[in-house]
Structure 1
Amino acid sequence: MANLPPSHYPDIGQLGEDLVAQWLQSTGWIILHRRFSCRWGEIDIIAQYDATGGVGGAGKGLFTQDSILIFVEVKTRSSGNWDAGGRSAITPQKQAKLWRTAEIFLAQYPEKADYPCRFDVAIVYCQRISKNLTGAKVSQEALATSSVAGYNLKLQEYIPAAFDCSIGNGDG
């Protein structure tokens, strides 16, 4: 029997991004964009936090000293992956692409250009749900979990300011 075309399989990368976006929202972040793309690349999640507005999204578009933007790279991997759960995939070249893509975002949304910004990485573990699996399985604690489309997903690690890039805001 022939293999099904890729369109018949769920996009585990998108499932991982969904989990991270839901977790960020549950901790007070406002999701501004998902899969923002330009000629330089793609940023999985762009979110804003406004500490003075509290949870609920007050301050949309309003800059306060406690507002921050994050550019989140989500790495969703299954067992037996070759790149340390996705950490090894954040090469200096990938960081440069994320940096340039973030600059394009800020150019397109100049009202956000003065916000402090950082680059975060989320590591999601994905496991296919086995129909033969019975009983409880002991596993490492997760920040968030989800079961969808035949997969168990776990947000294993969230790394704020994952690499040393900060977006300059001009001459001030």
Structure 2
Amino acid sequence: MANHPPSHYLDIGQLGEDLVTQWLQSNGWLILHRRFSCRWGEIDIIAQYPGGEESGLAGKEYLTQNSTLAFVEVKTRSPGNWDAGGRNAITPQKQAKLWRTAEIFLAQYPDKADYPCRFDVAIVSYQPISQLQTQIKSVQDALFSSSVAGYKFHLQEYIPEAFDA
């Protein structure tokens, strides 16, 4: 068996993030940043929902008063993983790192600092397409699915406000 360079292998985590990005966009979210990193850590997706009710405000003032920022942690796992699909990986230490990283993002983008912010978690499962017949229930329960490079990815759960800042 040949030893391939790292670029040869699929980045399963990035493919899971791609799925969540597509789902967020299909639900009206704007993707501001992917894999934002600083010395404290990395945030997989930073998204803005420009929703809210019409309030007679125009332009930027309207967006600021009605937008929400979501700092999204994506956990992509194969079936039968050890950490409950990634849920157990969101430890208090991981939450603190995400919070510090979000603070750095807001410092770099002060025009977003007044937006309501939340921390969301997306649970993505994947498996080779050749094994799909054994996991039909997970396909039916998925919020969103996509096939890439011989794998089927399923957004199993999206948890808004998964933890407090």
- TM-score normalised by length of structure 1: 0.85
- Offset from partner CA, 1:33-57 (integer Å, 9 cap, x none): 0000000000000000111499xxx
Aligned residues: 160
CA distance in 1, matches of 2:59, 2:84: 38
Change in CA separation of 1:39 and 1:113 when aligned onto 2, cut-off 3 Å: same
Please list, as runs of the form range in 1=range in 2, the aligned pairs for 1:19-168 lying within 5 A after superposition. Answer: 19-52=19-52, 63-130=63-130, 138-140=136-138, 141-165=141-165
Aligned-residue sequence identity (percent) comes to 76
CA apart distance, 1:146: 0.3
CA distance in 1, matches of 2:60, 2:12: 30
Whether the aligned pair in 1 keeps the contact of 2:19 and 2:155 (CA below 8 Å) is yes
The gaps in structure 2 that reach 5 residues or longer are none
The gaps in structure 1 that reach 5 residues or longer are 166-172
CA apart distance, 1:137: 5.7
1:162 match: secondary structure: strand
1:82 match: secondary structure: coil
Letter in 2 for 1:138: I
Which structure features the higher share of helix residues? 2
Letter in 1 for 2:110: P
Change in CA separation of 1:61 and 1:49 when aligned onto 2, cut-off 3 Å: farther
2:161 match: secondary structure: coil
Letter in 2 for 1:95: Q
Change in CA separation of 1:61 and 1:104 when aligned onto 2, cut-off 3 Å: farther
Change in CA separation of 1:151 and 1:112 when aligned onto 2, cut-off 3 Å: same
Letter in 1 for 2:51: A
2:28 match: secondary structure: coil
1:4 match: secondary structure: coil
Letter in 2 for 1:163: F
Change in CA separation of 1:134 and 1:17 when aligned onto 2, cut-off 3 Å: closer
Letter in 2 for 1:112: K
Q: Which range is displaced more, 111-120 or 78-87?
A: 78-87
Change in CA separation of 1:91 and 1:137 when aligned onto 2, cut-off 3 Å: closer
CA distance in 2, matches of 1:134, 1:159: 25
CA distance in 1, matches of 2:16, 2:73: 11
Whether the aligned pair in 2 keeps the contact of 1:61 and 1:112 (CA below 8 Å) is no
Cα RMSD after superposing both structures: 2.3
Letter in 1 for 2:128: R
